[in-house]
Amino acid sequence: MNRSKDGEPNRSETRGSDFLQLDPADAPPGGLADWLAGRLRAAVADGRLPVGTRLPATRVLAAELRVSRGAVTDAYQRLADEGHLAGRGRAGTVVVAAPLDPAPAPRPERTTRPTRATTTSPPAPAPPAPFPKNPGADIFDVLRDLPARIDLSPGLPDLAAFPRAAWHRAERTVLRDLPAAGLGYGDPRGTPALRTAVAAWLARYRGIRTDPAGIVVVAGTAQALGLVARVLTREGIDRIAVEDPGSLGVRQHLAHWGMGTPPVPVDTAGIRVDRLRATGAPAVLLTPAHQFPTGAVLGGDRRRDLTRWAAAGGLVIEDDYDAEHRYDRPPVPALRSLLPDRAFYLGSVSKLLAPALRTGWILPPPPHLDAVIAEKRFADLGNAALPQLVLAELMNSGEMERILRLLRRRHRRRRDTMIQAIAEHLPTAAVHGAAAGLHLTITFPGHPPGPHDTAFHDTALAAAALEHGVKTHPLSWHTQRPHPPGLVLGYAAVPTSAITDAIAALAQALHHIDTQPATARAASNSASHRSR
Amino acid sequence: MNRSKDGEPNRSETRGSDFLQLDPADAPPGGLADWLAGRLRAAVADGRLPVGTRLPATRVLAAELRVSRGAVTDAYQRLADEGHLAGRGRAGTVVVAAPLDPAPAPRPERTTRPTRATTTSPPAPAPPAPFPKNPGADIFDVLRDLPARIDLSPGLPDLAAFPRAAWHRAERTVLRDLPAAGLGYGDPRGTPALRTAVAAWLARYRGIRTDPAGIVVVAGTAQALGLVARVLTREGIDRIAVEDPGSLGVRQHLAHWGMGTPPVPVDTAGIRVDRLRATGAPAVLLTPAHQFPTGAVLGGDRRRDLTRWAAAGGLVIEDDYDAEHRYDRPPVPALRSLLPDRAFYLGSVSKLLAPALRTGWILPPPPHLDAVIAEKRFADLGNAALPQLVLAELMNSGEMERILRLLRRRHRRRRDTMIQAIAEHLPTAAVHGAAAGLHLTITFPGHPPGPHDTAFHDTALAAAALEHGVKTHPLSWHTQRPHPPGLVLGYAAVPTSAITDAIAALAQALHHIDTQPATARAASNSASHRSR
């Protein structure tokens, strides 16, 4: 141990610079500028100083190295003479070219992930469609990066409506008023300001009465699923029943955390509680306000039956992912308001403002609260403070209500446009779940359901749609048991003109599927598998 | 399933409002205002509309309910007459009082966590000190919430230096330039902009050459520890050796994720690689640039020996927590620059800007990169986008360098002040690790080390210090094996005048400990345990 205690601190000034770890003690006597030029040249050559990097000001670097400014200026000048550096006025001195013997070129962004479709083909021809029947853990990353003329992937609100000016104004207030200690480590549950604002929001809009102390702010529903899964794992639970059809993403997250996900059928009144009971699962995850992807609302009888199931020991995880978006039906209070002691409530701003905010909340049942807080602490010590405080400002000022009204009008128009275009271009399709939310689901009653080899498979339809420029989700991704083929279509993030185009393109894709022999389809499908 | 497909979308307007889930179909004929007033009154009474809530504008609510505005105005007026609501001009109509039969008062913030010291005593007398010898998982939350005149807890930079104006300016640029798609779901590794800026920063300041594709942006080192632990668990590793003394927080995080943490002694040249070898552990976590808490720098021989250990199969996790803060010694490149294939490199902005940003990065060895990306995906789908982009702006514009120079000057003054005050007030103390970082460690060679019952224990000293108004960490928290008593003292976040005061108060606390008989100390210590 470094026992430097001697009543007198070491007063020698800082030697050397963190910039390239330069230590002038390494320079030969009288050869300072030479040495420095050599070090800089090497750093440009081996990529530590890539083209575009701004060098420290000569004054600053000279002070750090405790050498004359002239030596630094001299070294910079030599590299400028060689063509490696250039003065840019107020922008300082920047690297403009590497020496002739350059380091290996940096790897492209995706080289490390060879399964990514974007690395396998040049940008010009449309890449083969990655619509495997059993998608892997990175399927949504792969899909997001695929170019498409129109993106109907479900799950996004109209991102163009994000209140950039209001966000920036609120951030000014936050930065003005925040005490310095608010920039340190904080409560793992999140800032009291946001928890208070969320409690008020949930009381007003979701019928939930809760104290801010019972809310844990999290990094979106994705993180919430992991926290809840780990809490339940520590309690000995290894299965969480899920709706079928139901979100593939949710199922992947639960499976990642070691949870079994027995499927429970869904009908027009939501999850079949009798079938849930039959699974024997100790917990269930469901989307009662607007079932994903079918759009069913959990009916009154089912709610009562689910309450009985929970009273007998079952735990409910309520994923209230898009409940605020509602068009043609009365509002439905959250299940949590009926089951405060048996339901984990999960909400987020991903469908209200933007997924990129990565902000959501969990209301655990009180007996599980401390365990959820502990998991959040060990996950990341709590969400970042500034965005939480900005969000609280937006919620308290009425801005969130304003956005929600704007979104609802806009989404409804887009929804209506999509329904009309389907009626026109896809007259054999059945539309499901359009009374609320950000997406709808279509199926094809004209095509009999059956084993994959005899009827068309919706992954083939999604692949054909992508070849026609439209990105969608095959319904089968969101099912565990056999189900008629279909597509899940997001409309909220797409302008109306593009929606009409997209549905017309889907009709062409369906025609393509209908007229192509099954054997050719199978060959084309396996070709796209190989190319991944 | 809701088969609403009929060629004609349902054109009926939205019925009801999400606000309190009001549905006018519930109102008796002719009794609309009555019904609405009753619903509002109930919501105020049961806490769904707490005092201070702003109600929707009458125009807005009437439109949502599709009723006359007069009925809504009438209902609001009745509650105003009863004293529950009041008009606030442009601020709208707000709840000012609850009816006489109110809901139970909301629970205080901490009622759900009865172990918290803050709930056990009124604010007036100083609360008993929570310095157990074996601190629990929430010890840092407990400690943070304890009031103290001066906080010398280690781990914080000067938060008053946070560049609020520059942050706000950079955010304006980001909000202006970001395409809408940037507000959707993103790459789990983080934004390309921040990864590119971090790669350039690490090349310039830490001697690390890396491609942005090899960097994963994370929510601080806390999250990084969890991601790495889970990756190694899936590879069958169940132990990560740690430095002793070494960070309690790091050890708690690894233990939470199921990792054993065999201790390896540290001396003035850093971790004893021979002793690491003797543990047989397949991986080690260390702080080579400025060992926490002793401040030792990993010596050249040790680096070479560690390289041999890694070449023979060992994995290194390099926690480079405060390497940019350096005063009296030459810079040290990161171990990762020597061991690109065997070292996970962990960095963050917690000690450069603010822990509340919860932003850091991992550079995994290439064979582990995909596994780390997968864990980050399932942790939270990636960090929030806006703060990443703002940070990239600050890094690219030279603002980060400016802050670092400012901090270094300010921290050095504070460090010097603390060393001088220790020489004056605590002449028997030995100071360790003051050449860099944000904290120093003191021990008391005058007090012989020994079993806890015969020598003074540093938890008792920390408790006495808190009674004298100063918050510190007992060194024993950061040790696994017996070690001489000491304190870890952060100086970076505290103005110089307060530092001098704090060290004088520590001297009084030490005197208190010295003059109090061991039995009385033991009694006082167990009393503070009970009170937790």
To which H or E segment does residue A21 belong? none
B252 CB neighbours in chain A (<8 A) are: 378
CA-CA distance, A478 to A462, in Å (whole number)? Answer: 13
User: Would you call B19 an interface residue with chain A, using a CB distance cutoff of 8 Å?
Assistant: yes
**pLDDT by residue (tens digit) across B345-359?**
999 999 999 999 999
pLDDT at B59 over 90: no
B205 in helix, strand or coil?
A: helix
Q: What is the mean pLDDT of residues A105-132?
A: 44
What integer pLDDT is reported at residue A20 of this predicted model? 85
What integer is the mean pLDDT of A300-319?
97
State the Cα–Cα distance between residues B451 and B453, nearest whole angstrom: 6
d(CA B448, CA A148): 72
Peptide bond preceding B245 in cis form (omega within 30 of 0): yes
Q: Is A288 on the interface with B (CB under 8 A)?
A: no
Asked whether the beta carbons of residue B429 and residue A380 sit closer than 8 angstroms, the reply is no
Q: Which residue has the higher pLDDT, A152 or A516?
A: A152
More confident residue, A251 or A114: A251
| Stronger pLDDT, B276 or B98, i.e. the higher one | B276
> Cβ–Cβ of A398/B354 closer than 8 Å?
no
Q: Do A331 and B214 touch (CB under 8 A)?
A: no
Q: Does A35 touch chain B (CB under 8 A)?
A: no
Q: Which positions 455-484 of B are in contact with A (Cβ < 8 Å)?
A: none
Q: Do A330 and B167 touch (CB under 8 A)?
A: no
Q: What is the mean pLDDT of residues A135-153?
A: 93
* pLDDT of the residue at A352: 94
Nearest to B356 among A60, A167, A386 (CB): A386
A64 compared with A256, residue with greater pLDDT: A256
The answer to whether A112 touches B213, Cβ cutoff 8 Å, is: yes
Angstrom distance (rounded) from CA A224 to CA A361: 7
DSSP B475: G
Burial of B265 (0-12, 13-18, 19+ CB in 10 A): middle
Question: What's the pLDDT at B8?
Answer: 39
- The closest of A471, A409, A392 to A192, measured between CA atoms, is A392
Q: How confident is residue B303, by pLDDT bands cut at 50, 70 and 90?
A: very high
In this model, does residue A257 exceed pLDDT 80? yes
Of A159, A183, A200, the CB nearest to B180: A159
Give the confidence band of B528 by pLDDT, cuts at 50, 70, 90.
Answer: very low
Report CB contact under 8 Å: B398, A92: yes
Query: Is some CB atom of chain B closer than 8 A to the CB atom of A408?
Result: yes
Q: Phi first, then psi: what are they for A432, rounded to 5°? A: -125, 140
CB B443 within 8 A of CB B485: yes
CB contact, 8 Å: B124 with chain A? Answer: no
Partner B, chain A 355-374, Cβ-Cβ below 8 Å: 355-359, 366, 369-370, 373-374
Neighbours of B487 (CB within 10 A): 28
Sheet holding B343-348, edge to edge: B216-218, B360-363, B343-348, B315-319, B283-286, B241-244, B263-267, B270-271
3-state secondary structure (DSSP) of residue B302? helix
pLDDT value, residue A463: 95
| For residues A96-105, average pLDDT | 53
B367 CB neighbours in chain A (<8 A) are: none
**Whole-number percent of chain B with pLDDT over 70:** 86
Which residues in chain A are contacts of B211 at CB distance < 8 A?
A: 106-107
Residue B447: the pLDDT is 56
Please name the residue of chain A whose CA is at the shortest distance from the CA of residue B290: A2
At B516, is the pLDDT very low, low, confident or very high (cuts 50, 70, 90)?
low
User: Measured between beta carbons, which residues in chain B are less than 8 angstroms from residue A140?
Assistant: 185
> Alpha helix locations (H) across B214-333?
220-234, 248-256, 273-279, 300-311
Q: In this predicted model, what pLDDT tens digit does every residue of A342-353 receive, in sequence order?
A: 999 999 999 999
Q: B169 — contact with chain A (CB < 8 Å)?
A: no
- Using the beta-carbon criterion (under 8 Å), do A3 and B213 form an inter-chain contact? no
Q: Which residues of B touch A387 (CB under 8 A)?
A: 384, 386-387
Q: How far away is chain B from the Cα of A114, in angstroms, using its nearest Cα?
A: 10
B:188-217 residues touching chain A, CB 8 A cutoff: 188, 192, 200, 203-207, 209, 211-214
- Residue-wise pLDDT for B432-450, tens only, equals 999 999 999 999 986 544 4
Residues constituting chain B: 532
Compute the distance between CA of residue B407 and CA of residue B413 in angstroms, rounded to an integer.
10
Among chain A residues, CA nearest to B383: A358
Query: Which has more pLDDT, A451 or A57?
Result: A57
pLDDT higher at A283 or A79: A283
A345 φ/ψ angles, rounded to the nearest 5 degrees: -105, 130
Is A341's Cβ below 8 Å from some Cβ in B? Answer: no
Interface contact B113, partner A, CB < 8 A: yes
Q: Residue B226: its chain A contacts at CB < 8 A?
A: 378-380
**What pLDDT sits at residue A516?**
66
B506 part of contact set with chain A, CB < 8 Å: no
Q: State both tokens at A64.
A: 């750090």
- Confidence band (pLDDT; 50, 70, 90) for A104? very low
Contact residues, chain B, for A442 at CB < 8 Å: 5
Of A19, A295, A356, the CB nearest to B385: A356
Q: Would you say residue B6 has pLDDT above 70?
A: no
Check: CB of residue A262 under 8 Å from CB of residue A241: yes
Please answer yes or no on whether A226 and B3 come within 8 Å at the CB atom. no
- Rounded CA-CA distance B118/B242 in Å is 32
Q: Do A219 and B219 touch (CB under 8 A)?
A: yes
| Interface confidence (ipTM) of the complex | 0.81
Which of A56, A324, A330 faces B23 most closely, judged by CB atoms? A330
Task: List CB contacts (< 8 A) between A369 and chain B.
Answer: 112
Q: Which residues of A touch B442 (CB under 8 A)?
A: 5
Which of B429, B431, B439 shows the shortest CA–CA distance to B490? B439
Task: Confirm or reject contact between B15 and chain A (CB < 8 A).
Answer: yes
Instruction: Count Cβ–Cβ pairs < 8 Å, chain A vs chain B.
Output: 383
Q: Record the tokens describing residue B170, joined without a space.
A: 């950079």
Mean pLDDT of chain A: 86
Sheet of strand A263-267, all strands in order from the earlier edge strand to the far edge: A216-218, A360-363, A343-348, A315-319, A283-286, A241-244, A263-267, A270-271
Mean pLDDT across B96-113: 47
Among candidates B185, B378, B382 on the partner chain, residue whose Cβ is nearest the Cβ of A253: B378
Say which of B53, B168, B382 has its CB closest to residue A171.
B168
Which of B291, B375, B380, B412 to mutate to test binding with chain A, by most A CBs within 10 Å of its CB?
B380
Q: Do B9 and A420 touch (CB under 8 A)?
A: yes
Residues of B in contact with A13 (CB under 8 A): 328
- Mean pLDDT, range B478-498, rounded to an integer: 95
pLDDT of residue A372: 98
Residues of chain B in contact with residue A435, where contact means CB-CB under 8 angstroms, are 2, 4, 10
- Please determine, for residue A14, whether its predicted confidence score (pLDDT) is greater than 80: no
Q: Which residue has the higher pLDDT, B118 or B59?
A: B59
A226 in contact with B at a CB cutoff of 8 Å? yes
The more confident residue out of B92 and A468 is A468
The values of phi and psi at residue B56, to 5°, are -60, 150
Instruction: Give B206's contacts in chain A (Cβ within 8 Å).
Output: 18
pLDDT band at A50 (very low <50, low <70, confident <90, very high): confident
- Predicted local confidence at residue A100, as pLDDT: 52
Which of A28-42, A306-320, B79-93, B507-521 reaches the highest mean pLDDT? A306-320
The pLDDT of residue A52 is above 60: yes
In this predicted structure, the answer to whether residue A450 has a pLDDT above a threshold of 50 is no
* Average pLDDT value for residue range A473-496: 96
A431 interfacial to chain B (CB closer than 8 Å): yes
**Nearest Cβ partner of A53 from B200, B206, B253?**
B200
Residues in chain B with CB shorter than 8 Å from the CB of A257 are 378
- B318 sits in which H/E element: strand B315-319
What is the pLDDT confidence band of residue A11, given thresholds at 50, 70 and 90? very low
d(CA B374, CA B388): 20
pLDDT above 90 (res B269): yes
Please answer whether residues A258 and A238 qualify as being in contact, where contact means their C-beta atoms are separated by less than 8 angstroms. yes
The average pLDDT across B251-269 equals 97
Task: Tell which residue, A173, A169, A175, A204, has the closest CA to residue A404.
Answer: A204
Residue A498: Cβ within 10 Å count? 18
Please tell me the predicted confidence (pLDDT) of residue B129: 52
Which of the 8 DSSP states describes residue B224?
H
